[in-house]
């Protein structure tokens, strides 16, 4: 009897989840210029974590090719200039200059 109750409750929970996804939509995360700018600001301020950069490195941007190219440039800078095993994330002086330049480009692209 308890097996049937467990099975019924499982089916109900799964049905509610599917209904929620159907009516509310599947959760999605869209990276924007503002998200990238915030990450750069946090990094330059010394408060970004390694996890923040790992998400950026692993999250492809399909909806905006220019933003994807920007993400790839940031990942390349991080791979070259990030100081290993630092948390919060720290970069070399060259890396900080490059991030600052990329931040200026992002700010310019969001205002124009």
Q: What is the pLDDT of residues 22-71, one digit of tens each?
A: 888 766 678 888 888 999 999 999 999 888 888 888 888 888 899 999 99
- Name the more confident of 93 and 85: 93
Cβ neighbours of 39 (radius 10 Å)? 21
Give the 3-state secondary structure of residue 49. Answer: coil
Measured in whole angstroms, the distance separating CA 28 from the mean position of its chain's CA atoms is: 11
d(CA 40, CA 109): 15
Q: What is the chain's length?
A: 112
Extents of the domains making up the chain: 33-111
d(CA 39, CA 53): 8
DSSP 87: S
Span 64-84, average pLDDT: 91
pTM equals: 0.70
């Amino acid at each position: 009897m308890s097996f049937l109750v467990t099975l019924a409750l499982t089916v109900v929970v799964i049905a509610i989840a599917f209904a929620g996804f159907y009516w509310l939509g599947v959760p999605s995360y869209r990276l924007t210029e503002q998200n990238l700018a915030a990450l750069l600001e946090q990094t330059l301020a010394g408060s970004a974590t390694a996890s923040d950069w790992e998400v950026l490195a692993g999250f492809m941007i399909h909806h905006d090719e220019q933003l994807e190219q920007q993400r790839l440039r940031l990942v390349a800078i991080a791979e070259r200039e990030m100081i290993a095993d630092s948390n919060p994330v720290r970069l070399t002086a060259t890396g900080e200059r490059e991030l600052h330049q990329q931040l200026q480009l992002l700010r310019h692209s969001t205002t124009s």
